Chains A and B, each alone.
Chain A
Amino acid sequence: MAGALLIAAVDARARSLGLCPGQKLADARACLPTLVAMEHDRDADRHFLERLADAADRYTPLVALEPPEGFTLDITGCAHLFGGEAALHKDLLRRLAGAGLTARATVAGTPEAASALARYATRDSVPPGAEAEAVASLPVMALGIDPAAVLALTRAGLKTIGDLGCRPGDILVARFGALLATRLRRVTGREDTRLTPRRAVATCMVERRFAEPVGRREDLLGALGMILGTAGTTMEERGEGGRLFEASFFRTDGVVRRIAVETGEATRDGAALIRLFAEKMHLIDDPSDPGFGFDLIRLAVLRTEALAPRQARLDGRGEADRETVALIDRLVARFGRDSVVRLVDRHSHIPERAEAMRPAIAVGATAAWPVMRAARPLTRPLQLFDPPQPIETLAEVPDGPPATFHWRRTTHQIARAEGPERIATEWWRDGESALTRDYYCLEDREGRRFWVFRQGLYGTETTAPRWFVHGLFA
């Protein structure tokens, strides 16, 4: 069987002609020469399923994927918002049909029972407590156990779940393992489980539905502003503020757009937040596929922190700090998290490791820098190349500074030089064989200054050391 092409899925017409998944493609072609086959794209399937699950977020935040073709919703406590379980079921199927899909769904007491019934039966829902009875006639395959076990059970004459149900549990466990017994308990509704949602559930969530789809950006922002106000009140009661906000815009045709906004410090200031969202509202537009508008907006506060009422400082310093934080938030909303940075000291003596750029939104203004002692001349360049740029040099003596060097199609005549400053490598990170660097500050005839180094000690570590320019002084 190795290397044979198998059929992964068939459409309704092919099924009616007797083809089925798992069949060899060559055999199918022999039966049906006009067969049209396309390569199975698992990633695309997965991606499509994710999109459907996104769209199903409108019913509940608790959605779990069941690849390759299913997903489960936990509608506990939210069915009444859609007019009851039956109405929700109908609405979901209507939307899926609208997207051109053939779908089945079942409402049941446990995720496993619902999944088994949706796949192997045609029931819309099961009354509470009636799961065991409902699944009794399903084949054992519906338990979701491995095919070898299914085969063994079938051979033993245990063809349906009902057949299993009347056997003593310990015998089944001894023969087929504990998994079978667990699955059986869950499918028959004797043991309830929580599903693992694919998205983290926010601590604070507010949403707004529209009777008619809304398409204008201003209207959406207006609605989002009201939601933010509600969320702000909720957070205020809890003494919290949000750091990470996500607005989900559900389009009537099932497309979901999400905009996330992060702030430098905890906030519940709706006016400031709406400005940040306004910066990113262009993300919900899709010129190639404008759709028919949005009928649901949901705001989730994904990260919250304690936010106590503040006391104004007499010198007005706190106000200024807050303004700076607000500016950083705005710049981040506009240019992205990684484009607005602060420099952070890293306590390494290797120049390129001595500091790092960190998102300003995550670091804050208190990043401490050691106070530099006044030293003459300046020992570190204003700008640093990472990685260092190789240069060609000409030196009077092999272990002295270069007399001239060639870099970027220009030859620099050196008028002044200071050094070397020897910087040994961090052997605990780079290994014993890493080369020592000798740094020189060079000034060319025009007064431009370069920070260059020779890699490797001449004579002991290497006989042909390479040179690099590592930075430029002001």
Chain B
Amino acid sequence: MTARRDALAALKGTLARLERGAMPSASPHFSLGPTGLDALLGGGLARAALHEVFAASPAHGPSATGFALGLALRAAPSAPVVWIRQRMLDQEFGRPYGHGIAALGLDPGRLVLVRARDAEAVLKATHDAARCGAVGVVIAEIWGAPRVLDLTASRRLSLAAAESGVTVIVTRTDAEPAASAALSRWQVRAMASPATEAGLPGLPAFLVTLLRHRAGIPPRDWPMEWDREHRRFRERAALPRRLDALPGDRAAAPQAPALPFRRAG
């Protein structure tokens, strides 16, 4: 089963690569970690591009932020990260916490935080930062669906990223995905920890859906964990075998997140 799926993923990846041969961008890529996903993406995501991360619902905003930080760590292992955040998010989810950021594996000393009053200010700051080649990644966090964030705005960010080589990640909370110039668009929701013997929370887990990719990669769900020791994402086994051996834990362990994974096969 797994072997077949991997083979299929590899084939899809090859197809995607062939399709992408026509695309002008020849920028280097960063891999996310899960082999199946990286193969599908043709080696990973483009660095000098705009990527969008949507929270599945406002309640999953922190997961979207966590996923964006993971992407940032993959894209730029040591360069400065500029994190621009609408103040509204601080009220909803709390302010960025350095010790927690360090716990994910990102050195807070690399971070420059910009606290913007509204979405317009976020966009201006993001555009400024995206044009600065010394920056590795710009993370922009926007609440809701403000009118200033239209196709033109995303195109400008995309162009700035392509010119400077900076990776721009825009996270959106309480917003519906809409047309944009982003190279890839993801949706993130929190995912329950796998059942363990002690019943403890595990690594940060995300149920990530690749909604759209400019190379035409088909949408699919990717259950992932953040492995902070190796600073990479890891594919979560859909149904851990160990779970069968521990029926006692199962009653409390929600299994719902595992289902969408099957649908994609």
Contacts and interface: CB of A to CB of B under 8 A. Distances in A.
B163 interface: no
Interface in A355-371: 355, 357, 360, 365-370
Contacts of B234: none
A382 B191 CA distance: 16
Given A369-B98, A380-B97, A471-B97, A339 B59 contact: no
B228 A382 contact: no
A243 interface: no
B109 A365 contact: yes
Interface of B: 59-60, 62-63, 65-67, 69, 79-80, 82, 93-105, 107-117, 121, 124-125, 128-129, 132-135, 189-193, 199-207, 226, 228-229, 252-254, 257
A375 B124 CA distance: 38
Which 4 pairs across A and B sit closest by C-beta, in order of nearness? A474-B66, A323-B134, A343-B98, A383-B94
A367 B102 CA distance: 14
23 contacts: A320-B134, A324-B112, A328-B112, A331-B112, A345-B108, A351-B99, A354-B99, A357-B95, A360-B112, A369-B108, A372-B105, A375-B103, A377-B201, A377-B202, A378-B103, A379-B103, A382-B65, A382-B69, A386-B95, A416-B192, A416-B252, A447-B254, A448-B63
Interface in A433-474: 441-443, 445-449, 471-474
Interface of A: 319-324, 326-328, 330-331, 334-335, 339-345, 351, 354-355, 357, 360, 365-370, 372, 374-386, 410, 415-418, 441-443, 445-449, 471-474
A425 to B, nearest CB: 18
A345 B107 CA distance: 11
Contacts of B99: 351, 354-355, 372, 380
Contacts of B67: 474
A240 B79 CA distance: 29
A382 B100 contact: yes
B94 A381 contact: yes
B110 to A, nearest CB: 8
A241 B241 CA distance: 65
Nearest to A323: B134
A345 B98 contact: yes
B200 A366 contact: no
Contacts of A446: 59, 189-190, 192, 254
In this complex, which of A334, A343, A345, A365 has the most chain B Cβ atoms within 10 angstroms of its Cβ?
A343
A23 B128 CA distance: 63
A113 to B, nearest CB: 53
A443 B192 contact: yes
A343 B107 contact: no
Contacts of A328: 112
Nearest to A414: B252
A308 B128 CA distance: 29
B65 A474 contact: yes
Contacts of B102: 369-370, 372, 380
A383 B65 contact: yes
A400 B172 CA distance: 36
B88 to A, nearest CB: 13
Interface centre among B79, B80, B94 (most CB of A within 10 A): B94
A383 B96 contact: yes
A383 B62 contact: yes
B103 to A, nearest CB: 4
